[in-house]
């Protein structure tokens, strides 16, 4: 993908697009690059590629709260992270098994999970909440 940091490949009906954060996207086969002009990025890029995110965050910490505009502020990154973690809850819940007295196995977590963000819990499948928060052994706590 251009370097050792991985990247992405999008397969489409008209071709394949490959790239990563540090290099512009490339159409495959590469002969297609002569046929198509790619638009310039609409999102401003951070100098330093992937390491630039770390540098931007550290700079913001040194300057203090609210004194540096971040490319991915917590107001945006927080809900995105919450959505990704909700996907993890769905996967973990999907695998939960319940064994009946007759030995039959069911999978009660294979359903749409309803998330209450304010109270940080699943409202329609309580077993999934075991993956949201944990009980810490004494004397540890948060």
| 59 and 78 housed in the same domain | no
Residue 68 lies in a domain: no
Q: Is the pLDDT of residue 1 over 70?
A: no
Q: Is the pLDDT of residue 3 over 80?
A: no
In this structure, the chain runs to a length of 142
Residue 51: pLDDT band with limits 50, 70, 90: confident
Q: Residue 103 is encoded by which pair of tokens?
A: 């030995």
| 117 and 97 housed in the same domain | yes
Q: How far apart are CA 39 and CA 49, in angstroms?
A: 19
| 78 and 123 housed in the same domain | yes
Q: How far apart are CA 117 and CA 80, in angstroms?
A: 12
| 94 and 49 housed in the same domain | no
pLDDT single digits (tens) 24-35: 788 888 888 888
pTM comes to 0.56
Q: What percent of the chain has pLDDT over 70?
A: 96
59, 93 Cβ separation under 8 angstroms: no
pLDDT single digits (tens) 97-116: 999 999 999 999 999 999 99
Q: How far apart are CA 113 and CA 116, in angstroms?
A: 10
**What is the number of structural domains in the chain?**
2
Q: Is the pLDDT of residue 64 over 90?
A: yes
């Amino acid at each position: 993908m251009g370097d050792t940091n991985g990247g992405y490949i999008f397969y489409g009906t008209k071709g394949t697009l490959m790239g990563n954060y540090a290099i512009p996207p490339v159409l495959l086969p590469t002969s297609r690059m002569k046929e198509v002009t790619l638009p310039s990025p609409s999102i401003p890029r951070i100098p330093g590629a992937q390491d630039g995110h770390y540098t931007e965050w550290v700079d913001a910490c040194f300057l203090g709260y609210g004194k540096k505009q971040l490319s991915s502020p917590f107001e945006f990154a927080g809900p995105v992270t919450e959505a990704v973690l909700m996907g993890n809850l769905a996967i973990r819940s999907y695998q939960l098994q319940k064994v009946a007295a007759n030995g039959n196995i069911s999978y009660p977590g294979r359903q749409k999970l309803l998330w209450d963000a304010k109270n940080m819990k699943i409202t329609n499948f309580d077993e999934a909440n075991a993956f949201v928060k944990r009980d810490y052994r004494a004397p540890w706590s948060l």
